[in-house]
Amino acid sequence: MFIPIGDDNSRRLRPPVVVWLLVALNGIVWFLELQHGDQFIAAYAAIPFEISTGIDLTSTKYISIQGERIAIPQAAGPSPIYLTLFSSMFMHGSWMHIFGNMIYLLIFGDQIEDRLGHLRFLIFYLLAGIAAGIAQVITTPNSVLPCVGASGAIAGVLGAYLILFPGNSIRVLVFRSIIIMPAFIVLGFWGVMQVLGHFGNPSEQGGVAYMAHVGGFVVGVGGSILVRLSGRRR
């Protein structure tokens, strides 16, 4: 078990208002999911087939996983259907899913917001999330499985953290012990695991959209490199 639980915030200058608002918005959408169930998820999740074809699926589809026929509910979504690339960023599949994502956002998002500023951080976060969804669509264009979660956008935050704060101290829970590691080891390991996870399960039928994580992470790395270069020019 390898779980980040905190970092060194001593250099942060302002409160992470946007991070707190994003956490609250994810919580509100999770409450709506609990209230409205599968129909809400089917309507507003990003489904690669819908995005790649522009066709809004409305009837149940079936897939085969390890020889078992699985029903995948579908429902009419927003118009245009591409808006689900945005709405899916605030949806989650379970309590553990949303809890884990929000912990990562709270740990790593505050310093990126501090560095970029509130508005630029929000734009960066949304662009990383959309890019992550597009990466998933490109790699699995015919999939009818719903893709939900802030993981892609948060992966962008992690990629930015890796470039902007590579030596920052991260508190990591390893089994029952808490140890201190530099960010480049923690986040570098995370990035490698996502790539390996994708190649180990390219169809993403295991429930984790690894390529969305990879896509968001790459956008975060690239965007933060531009930030560092522009800072040096100034």
**Chain center to CA of 193:** 15
Beta pairing partners, 171: 6, 180
What 3-state class would DSSP assign to 74?
coil
Q: Where are the alpha helices (DSSP H) in 12-47?
A: 17-44
Token representation of residue 218: 């790459």
SS3 182: strand
Q: Which two tokens mark 51?
A: 């995005």
Task: Tell which residue, 217, 19, 27, has the closest CA to residue 118.
Answer: 19
Q: Are 84 and 57 in contact (CB under 8 A)?
A: no
Residue 143: burial class (beta carbons within 10 Å; 0-12, 13-18, 19+): buried
Cis peptide leading into 80, omega within 30 of 0? yes
Strand-pair category, 61-65 with 2-7: unpaired
**Is residue 203 a contact partner of residue 140, using CB atoms and an 8 Å limit?**
yes
User: What is the enclosing helix (H) or strand (E) of 138?
Assistant: helix 118-139
Looking at the predicted structure, is the pLDDT value of residue 206 above 50?
Answer: no
- The full set of domain ranges for the chain reads 2-233
Spatial contact of 36 and 43, defined as CB atoms under 8 Å apart: no
Q: For residues 72 and 144, is the Cβ–Cβ distance under 8 A?
A: yes
Q: What is the mean pLDDT of residues 149-164?
A: 92
Residues 157-203 have pLDDT tens digits of 999 999 999 999 999 998 888 999 999 998 888 877 777 765 555 54
Q: Of the CATH numbers 3.40.50.1000, 3.90.380.10, 1.20.1540.10, 1.10.287.70, which one belongs to the domain with range 2-233?
A: 1.20.1540.10
Q: Would you say 164 and 170 are in contact if contact means Cβ atoms under 8 Å apart?
A: no
Q: What is the pLDDT of residues 5-52, one digit of tens each?
A: 899 988 899 999 999 999 999 999 999 999 998 889 999 999 999 999
Interval 43-65 mean pLDDT:
90
pTM: 0.89
Average pLDDT over the chain, rounded to an integer: 87
